Structure 1
């Protein structure tokens, strides 16, 4: 069975896009990172992703991103599936990182729409197809138009799925839920569609999605995983309850640019030194007070 066929069956649930912890001097905090991965798995997360948006990849060197992948692979040790983010605004970097993910045995590679340079749809097709054709590892497209400045259109996504059998899914951080429904319709019901918008995690399951890659899982992995578990167990009312219970946390964590509020929250929880790399910085004191209030209401601090 091709690796991508096997991946279609197992890459489901709550995949935590783990943040990258830094020390006060800005260097990678390797021990804390491994502790975070272990905590996620022990808390019920079904999969781990790294160096996606929450991991601040644009502030890291290629070697640092590879090191984080290595640390994650080692810490996971086969307990859950592993889907590192390997995309970049630079094509050669994206190719190198995707090949590296395959080399170290990741279960899939998540490749973001190139940010800042805003390629047209034909260029996006060429970008993703060239990467997918160069590897056998399953590919998850990552569409986040609010940060890339361009939307990966449904027609382009369908063309990629038709052309590349190892393109098996997409993380849709797209608030246009009509677009998301059409992705599922045209790419096929076996296409693995993950929500990257926190308030759309539950609705994504309702239309046949495979799960979610939610930054909130960094802070509250138990509840985020439980939302998926309840749905998978047929407890629709319980999943709805969890969806609404988490809304205040989802809201407050996105009042500033991700992962700034997430790192502030993890600092309050004693999990990390809340350090971001420039140009990002911590939220205002007023927003941090709001974050703490919500954490307290959920017994997370």
Structure 2
């Protein structure tokens, strides 16, 4: 990490904790302690990890010295309840209005509405993951008029039939209505 962060020392560096993809689980509070002095531009963590206790430990670590960004789109409401004040997620690229409604419901203490909207996110992410998440997410960007090309290797890309089926499923679930501004 230090070498990567050092290549752009004037920019904030965020460590990406995503054990579900990497297969590597580390204690993030211990990580922050171990590298804070070696990476002067360390700003925080993109926390894409289901461990809510560790998320809160990171939020309060060293009196909140680090920015801990919530990184699990399909659990944004839970992240907000745990104290998240910022989030980074891939589905936010094409479903931002859905997540704005989740945040607004949380701010209004309307948890029924928040759970309703969050379930839409869960259904969306599950459908994308069923055919290879990143390739499917990129296909959705194309459906919305932003062709971003295929997922990089070794990520899977959906074939033509899967793309047709994905679009039909998204239409059936009302996705294209959810994302209208």
Task: State whether structure 2 residue 52 is matched by structure 1 residue 177.
Answer: yes
Task: State whether structure 2 residue 121 is matched by structure 1 residue 210.
Answer: no
Partner of 1:142: 16
What SS does structure 2 have at the residue aligned with 1:211?
coil
The structure with more helix, counted as a fraction of residues: 2
- Give the unaligned 5+ runs of structure 1: 1-86, 100-134
Change (3 A) 1:229 1:191: farther
Alpha-carbon displacement from aligned partner over 1:213-238 (angstroms, at most 9, x marks no partner): 11111221211233223323544443
* 1:86-235 mapped onto 2 (5 Å cutoff): 92-96=3-7, 99=8, 135-159=9-33, 163=37, 167-189=42-64, 191-235=66-110
Alpha-carbon displacement from aligned partner over 1:93-113 (angstroms, at most 9, x marks no partner): 5532xx1xxxxxxxxxxxxxx
Alpha-carbon displacement from aligned partner over 1:234-262 (angstroms, at most 9, x marks no partner): 44443232212322112112234442111
- Measured in 1, the distance between the counterparts of 2:145 and 2:12 equals 35
Change (3 A) 1:255 1:193: farther
Q: TM-score, normalized by length of structure 1?
A: 0.48
8 A Cα contact 2:73 2:89, kept in partner: yes
Task: State whether structure 2 residue 142 is matched by structure 1 residue 300.
Answer: no
Q: TM-score, normalized by length of structure 2?
A: 0.74
Runs of 4+ that moved beyond 6 A: none
- Give the unaligned 5+ runs of structure 2: none
Change (3 A) 1:152 1:257: farther
Which of 280-289 and 222-231 deviates more? 280-289
Change (3 A) 1:187 1:291: farther
8 A Cα contact 1:173 1:196, kept in partner: yes
Partner of 1:51: none
Shift of 1:142: 1.4
Partner of 1:272: 147
Alpha-carbon displacement from aligned partner over 1:248-290 (angstroms, at most 9, x marks no partner): 1121122344421111222233321643344434224564345
Change (3 A) 1:290 1:194: farther
Partner of 1:71: none
Partner of 1:242: 117
- Measured in 2, the distance between the counterparts of 1:294 and 1:230 equals 26
Aligned length: 175
